[in-house]
Structure 1
Amino acid sequence: MRGARWQVASAEVPPELAGHYPVLMARIMAGRGIKTLEAAELFLAGDARLSNDWRLLPDIRPAMARIYRAILSGERIAVYGDFDTDGITATALMVTGLRSLGAEAIPYIPHRLTEGYGLKTDALKKLAEEGVSLVVSVDCGITAVTEVKEAKRFGLDVIITDHHLPLETLPPAVAMIDPRRVDSVYPFQDLAGVGVAFKVVEALFAGMGRPLPKEHFLELAAIGTVADIMPLTGENRYLVKEGLKHLNDHPSPGLLEIINMARLRAGQLDAESISWQVAPRLNAAGRLEHAIMGYDLLMAATPDKAKDLALILEDRNLERQRLTAKFVARAREQVLSGPLDPLLLVEDAECPPGILGLVAGRLSDEFYRPSIVIRREDGMATASCRSIPGFNITQAIDQCGHLLCHYGGHAQAAGFSLKTEDLPKLSSLISEIAAKEIASIDLQPVLTIDTEARFHEIGGNLFQILNRLGPFGEANRPPLFVSRCVTVLDHRTMGNAQEHIKMRLTQGGSVWEAVAFRQAEEMKKLLPGPIDVVYNLELDKFNGRETLRLNIVDFAAAS
């Protein structure tokens, strides 16, 4: 992360961990708040002890009672999801769970382009006309006050399962299961939508005295949790760690086809594989067309059907990549055409709605500012937002709620829609809010480094030991080291544009191979050193050979 301010964690080793773990491992755990033997053992095991009691979820009892009644009386239940990977996996998980218990359950995922996010009155009315009497939402609904009121008017009962921030007023639903409710006593707030769905299904099976067949459910929970960038701590750590085991051992037909399309190998998948390969493919259909295709792939019962759907998703994903590159370039031009404001506001009427969030994310990553990308169409404006640590974008949007038709999200990612005529007021108000709040934020990204290390300390079996800290992802990143006064023995550039650089580095007699992606030009200015380098340890698997090397994240002239 070039241009970042380095922040190295304390080098202290907690007394309780000393002697039980290598010094570097103990320092890394301490920096992540793990300072006792009991906490270390629990974190490294990542087992079912991290799973919380479903009985603590708000409204779980009335939800169970209403679903059991629907099953016993043969009612038709609609599972109403979202069109991102979290929503698709949550829909597949809930439908599978309800059907396993004997329910007549059907999926409903809104069309991103024609319907938009969340519960919609027209869709609910259509479901009622088709004989649905109970709607169970997943990954949406907690802010749908008006829509749930309307649903009751035409005879629908609604159970909400969600993980987004509620408004002050809750919808008048039969039950609202959301660990982020202010009155919730559930110990872990950071479940994804699919994580909440998993807990509801777990409760339904337990209430009927039936063992939960966890394999496919955990596989789906892992994918949705990683894709929604939820912290891989607490209960999420258990869901993802166990889900990855099942995904590697015996993936469902649809997921096996995605693994094959991405040229991944079952047995070697990790959270990064989900983030960069699996989730984008599942997401691709919903970004450009209808997300039901991703759902159908997850539910595919045969390899032939799965392969046909995976081929279509592969094509959509390539198109998504092309469109993202195109509209990111256009957005960058807008940003660079004027002064760099605390909040980046970009408009592009041609940007597909499914690409808005990707563009906003790229802008926030590059310029380290909250970003809002807006599209106008037919008198309405739709926006996707991404933020930076320290600025809660959803709270900022909430202060503009009187101008908006719909909105919702997390601290770092959100979306909203409003009438185009109100867009100037919105732009002015949210820019004013951002300028005031961001004034106290250092708009220089911080690179949090776990520990300083000498080259001779990172050899041996340290890499295998550190892997016990995985799965790695949000709030549990791969360990970052800094080594100082390193000399570059030799180097060569790589890539079509020679933008990468491969090197041999030495410090105190120890020599390591290293690679710095997209940093060749900057690195060559400092060669042959000495330099300070920040890096992860990684296993390079090129041409069937496995070589442990340093993946250079940042560097500077030796201090």
Structure 2
Amino acid sequence: MPKRRWLVAPPAPSTFSARFPQFPPLIAQIFYNRGITTPDDAQRFVGMEDVAANARIGDDPFKMNGMSQAVERIRRAIREGEAIGVYGDFDADGVCSTALLTEALKKLDAKALPYIPHRINEGYGLNSDALKDLKEKGACVVVTVDCGIRSLGEVEAGTALGLDMIVTDHHSVGNELPRAVAVINPKQNDDAYPFQEFAGVGIAFKLAQALSDAQQQSPLPNAQTLELDALLDLVALGTVADLVPLVGENRTLVRRGLARLNKTERPGLQAMMQQAAGKNRSMSAGTIGFFLGPRLNAAGRIEHARTAYKLLTTQYPGEAEQLAAQLEATNRERQKLTDEMTQKAREMVAALPPGEFILIAGSPDFPEGIIGLIASKMQEDAYRPAIAMTHKDGVMRGSARSIPEFNIVAALDECADLLVRHGGHAAAAGFTVDNTKYDALHARLRNIAERELSRLELVPTISIDAEASLSDMNWKLLEHLDQLAPYGYGNREPIFLSRNIMVKSARLVGTEHIALVVSDGVVVWDAIAFRQKEALPKLAPLPKQVDLVYTLASKVWQNEPRLQLEVKDIRVADL
């Protein structure tokens, strides 16, 4: 891990902090850092009114381009008894999107045909053979979820088959839109919806919300009540797992969804939560990111994502336990394979010339399902954009992970003439290229990376909210911090810095973590530094004076809740 830069936020003016007398000064500082400038803004941010069950979420879904056309065509299909295909993706967001929209359609008495492609055999995005299969099964309409925005040829192929195609997607929009009955993606340039950063499951929820609104205005016969709140556990899962910003409407969706997830009635989620996270663990955005999301994703990476779909949709506890156990085993296999292949990629990176601005490693041994994980490890190791590739049958498939200074999907857009297909976001993308064009692609990406990054100091940064004393850390502060959650991309967990702290003891926990006891001479704290074993030698001999960057958290030890510091970085103090 490269040495990290500490960027400490400037202190808020005293006049600013005085606006928030009901909050501790450290919370007022966090408001200042986040651009929350008035007491009303603060109350809206920490308030729980948006968590109330059945309260309407967000703006009018019909403000989105294509929503009216999509709802009209879907309702016509329901009235006329036409089957509707729901075409998803094989990651956690795509699986949650497919489960959500299928459930909503069935509540409205639709004949819904869910379809999730196989990652290896069919690849990302729409697949013409799959559309033929849906047509043969009786589909007249196909709604994509979490895919399709760049599948221009496949949408045309579906239309040629006689399918009415509706595209819902959240990925970046290309120069041309698919020629579909409706295209729903708030990232379209002329879209009037005020929020753009949904996950695929968020867009699927907005479509369900629009269908619910239409049902209230003009009820379809035989339809059941569509309880939108019952879908929010799926929204929280997919939104957090897809690493979209937890701000704006996403924040509300996830807060409401976590409340639903903690009392979910889905047997599959109950079983997975029990096996992955333990019976008494409360579900948070962190729990989804660390425990649930990887297990849902493992199905599509190693086997077939339909296992994850079945887990989310089964009504039978016995089947749910079997599926959860299967996902648990698949995830362990995924972890082992990722470790082995990442080591191979690291050896390839070590052999590259010094000074590379983009790291590219490829091997036919890399399973396609984990190349994104390999790329992520490469990026974390060197703080450079990274691409992991595998190749088979004359084509290469790549998965890219990037750093904030380099928009990887924009770079791939500059290489579109060399690619079979590509898509994604600024920080993560995927593509397919013919073997014959790989050398040209490699050269162009290296040139783009050098152009964009050569004049920058590429050092990972920890943004620190405030310098604080250990005596400032207490249960009352944690209570206020919990009101700022859910934390994740776009709403990071507040980070504090305490200087000249004495490390009284330090020991290795497991193979990667350090357990510490620290003190400022007034109070003594337990602390844990996850995956930072490389820091242990510099703490010898003890005691050692250090500067500590950390978050405040709680743990349960022998059935008793305790506060602890979760260390993000540690430096020997300059005395």
Q: Which amino acid aligns with 1:197?
A: A
1: CA distance between counterparts of 2:317 and 2:461? Answer: 46
Provide the residue aligned with 2:160 in structure 1. Answer: 153
Q: Which amino acid aligns with 1:155?
A: G
Residue 276 of structure 2 corresponds to residue 269 of structure 1 = no
Q: How does the TM-score come out when normalised to structure 2? A: 0.94
Provide the residue aligned with 1:416 in structure 2. Answer: 431
Residue 536 of structure 2 corresponds to residue 534 of structure 1 = no
Percent identical? 43
Aligned partner (choices 365, 380, 384) of residue 369 of structure 1: 384
Provide the residue aligned with 1:11 in structure 2. Answer: 11
Provide the residue aligned with 1:359 in structure 2. Answer: 374
- Cα offset, 1:212, TM superposition: 4.1
Aligned partner (choices 511, 516, 537) of residue 524 of structure 2: 511
Q: Which amino acid aligns with 2:372?
A: G
Moved over 4 A (4+): none
Residue 241 of structure 2 corresponds to residue 260 of structure 1 = no
Any idea what the Cα deviations from partners look like across 1:68-88, whole Å, max 9, x if unmatched?
110000001000000000000
- Cα offset, 1:542, TM superposition: 3.4
Provide the residue aligned with 2:82 in structure 1. Answer: 75
- Cα offset, 1:266, TM superposition: 5.5
Provide the residue aligned with 2:484 in structure 1. Answer: 469
Aligned partner (choices 353, 357, 370) of residue 342 of structure 1: 357
Structure 1 contact 350–375 (Cα < 8 Å) conserved: yes
Provide the residue aligned with 1:31 in structure 2. Answer: 33
Any idea what the Cα deviations from partners look like across 1:520-541, whole Å, max 9, x if unmatched?
4524424433221100111122
Provide the residue aligned with 1:189 in structure 2. Answer: 196
CA RMSD of aligned residues (A): 1.7
- Cα offset, 1:45, TM superposition: 2.1
Provide the residue aligned with 1:317 in structure 2. Answer: 331
Structure 1 contact 191–225 (Cα < 8 Å) conserved: yes
- Cα offset, 1:317, TM superposition: 0.9
Paired residues in the alignment total 557
| Structure 1: tracts of 5 or more residues without a match | none
Query: Please, which moves more after superposition, 217-226 or 435-444?
Result: 435-444
Structure 1 contact 455–508 (Cα < 8 Å) conserved: no
Any idea what the Cα deviations from partners look like across 1:442-465, whole Å, max 9, x if unmatched?
210010011110122222511111
Q: Which amino acid aligns with 1:38?
A: D
Any idea what the Cα deviations from partners look like across 1:481-505, whole Å, max 9, x if unmatched?
00111122x21413344x5332322
Q: Which amino acid aligns with 2:4?
A: A
Aligned partner (choices 109, 133, 137) of residue 140 of structure 2: 133
2: CA distance between counterparts of 1:518 and 1:91? Answer: 35
Aligned partner (choices 169, 182, 195) of residue 162 of structure 1: 169
Q: How does the TM-score come out when normalised to structure 1? A: 0.96
Change (3 A) 1:7 1:49: farther
Change (3 A) 1:555 1:234: same
Structure 2 contact 406–453 (Cα < 8 Å) conserved: yes
1: CA distance between counterparts of 2:255 and 2:20? Answer: 26
- Cα offset, 1:267, TM superposition: 6.3
2: CA distance between counterparts of 1:231 and 1:204? Answer: 26
Q: Which amino acid aligns with 2:273?
A: I
Change (3 A) 1:2 1:463: farther
- Cα offset, 1:215, TM superposition: 3.4
Any idea what the Cα deviations from partners look like across 1:286-331, whole Å, max 9, x if unmatched?
1012111111110101101111211211111111111111111111
Structure 1 contact 16–36 (Cα < 8 Å) conserved: no
Change (3 A) 1:55 1:143: same
Provide the residue aligned with 1:491 in structure 2. Answer: 505
Any idea what the Cα deviations from partners look like across 1:365-418, whole Å, max 9, x if unmatched?
121111111111010110101000021100100110011111100110100001
2: CA distance between counterparts of 1:510 and 1:109? Answer: 54
Structure 1 contact 493–520 (Cα < 8 Å) conserved: no
- Aligned to 1:297, the other structure's residue is in SS state helix
Change (3 A) 1:350 1:147: same
Q: Which amino acid aligns with 2:343?
A: A
1: CA distance between counterparts of 2:442 and 2:347? Answer: 19
- Aligned to 1:77, the other structure's residue is in SS state strand
Residue 294 of structure 2 corresponds to residue 280 of structure 1 = yes
| Structure 2: tracts of 5 or more residues without a match | 220-224
2: CA distance between counterparts of 1:118 and 1:16? Answer: 52
